[in-house]
Every structure is written in C-alpha cells, then in structure tokens.
Structure 1
Amino acid sequence: MSKINYYTEEGLKKLKDQLYDMETVQRPKISEQISEARDKGDLSENAEYDAAKEAQGLLEMRISKLKDVISNARLIDESEMDSSKALILSNVKIKNLGNNAEVTYTLVAENEANLKEKKISVDSPIGKGLLGKSLGDIADIETPRGIIQFEILEITR
C-alpha cells in the first residue's frame, strides 16, 4: 500500500508538470534513440541500443512511481486548519533559547522542503517538534548535539 502525502497546490502542480515532461518529452526522445540504434544493425553488439533500452526502463520506472505518488497525493485545505497552532503550511517564527537566534520557517510536506527557501519538512526533527505547538510554547527538539529548546514567537498562515 502506498503512503498518502499531503501537498500544496504548487507542490502537486510541480509533480504533474514533471510527469507530463517525462511522458511527452523524455519518453519520445528515448524511443527515437532506440529506433536509431536499431537501424544501425546487429542488436547483440550494439551498445547504443542497450543504453537506450536501459534508459527507457529507468524512465518507465520513474513514471510509474510518480503516477503512484500523484494518485496518493492529497491537497491541503488551509481553510479547515487551526491558525493558533503550528501545523503544515504554518509560518512559524522561533527563537533558539540557547543562542537567542530567531528564524522563521514554513512547515511543508517532506517533498516540498527547501532549506534555502526556509521551508522545512514536518517530518524533520524541528518540524516534528513544532507541530501542534501554540504561541509562547517551548519546543524541545532532539538533535545530534542534544536537546535544543525553541520558543514559538509567532504563527501565521
């Protein structure tokens, strides 16, 4: 059974665009490569043919997996979410109580996480520690260096 994942509209659109590219651009290119290699004669000693067939197999596997992910994807309905708690798609401003550093993260699904954009996964240690917390709560986050305490300063959508 496949795992259900939650996505924003933007994240789900990226997946669908990626699938569309694989099916309409990459698949025909590989078919063309196979056809060209086949035209070159003896297939038993044709490295180009073998490479193209292998690329085709890998692409078909990726397409299959992506279709499975998309079929088990669920859109997140923000209108139903409690804005007083840190939940997926919340912007959470936190303060590290050890060094007083403040940072704001957006909690997102694992596949949409991007640290450069300050989007962290709800499955990451910090994300898990912040989930369900309210304004003013202290989150104890288990890290390789020990427990770090973060105070929730602000929660927005």
Structure 2
Amino acid sequence: MIRYNLRCDRGHSFESWFQSSSAYDSQLKRKLVTCAVCGSAKVEKAIMAPRIAGTKKRDKPAAADLSTPAMAQERELRAGLRQLHDHLVKNADDVGARFPNEARKMHYGDIEPRPIYGEASPEDAKSLIEEGVAVGSLPVLRDDRN
C-alpha cells in the first residue's frame, strides 16, 4: 500500500491510500480519484516527504514516532467515518447506479423522500448539485477497497 498526499484544482489537500503507484494512475485516469472535500476529479499528487523506516532501535524517537498523536487522530477520525458510513448504509436504501434518477425524483416530488445511497459519476454529482439536489459522498475507507 502507498499513501499519497493529494490536492484538487480548488486547493483542497487530502490523502488517500492506493495498492500501488500504477493503481493510483489507473484510478486517476478513470476519474475515480476525487477530492474528499469538494468531489472534484481534477486531482494531482502534492509534495510529500518520504517516510524512511529504520531497522535499529534508537534512544531518540525517530521522525515517524513523533507523529504518534497525529496517527492516533487519524485512527480516531477513521473510526468516526466508519461509524458514519455504517449508520448511513444501515439506514438507507442502496439504489446503485439509479442514484441520480432516484435523487431527482425525490427532489422534484415525483416519489416520496427517503434516505438513499448509490453511485454517481462526478459529472452526475455536479449536475445534481447544480439543480439544488442535496447530495453528499460516503467516505470510502481503506478496508472498503480491499
């Protein structure tokens, strides 16, 4: 697994994990890598410092050890996102690829509103938002991709 620091065309920074460099390239080409903040598919790698793992134990903490509070924060954030994700999946209907159509029908009063989730391309999501349809992205967590 490889972690990349990423940045969208609107300046939002975020990170994501990929199985390999080629997996990142493939997903980026297919516009599957989107900004975690705004959903933009115009994403590029941001500058990041390499992480070097040592083999010897040292008296002084290694640079990676200094980030323990940050790592604990990340674990806590991921746990919260997992709870949110699980709650949404448990309490909403999975409409799959029909998501854009179902969301529009509810927005325009053609069907009774209910909690739903499913799949939408970045273009479909943008179109829904421009129409005033309230949509959001479910977080995709590392173990969801394995």
Structure with greater strand percent: 1
TM surpasses 0.5: no
TM-score (ref. length: structure 2): 0.29
- Looking at both structures, which has the greater relative contact order when contacts are Cα pairs under 8 Å and sequence separation is at least 6? 1
TM-score (ref. length: structure 1): 0.28
Structure of higher CA gyration radius: 1
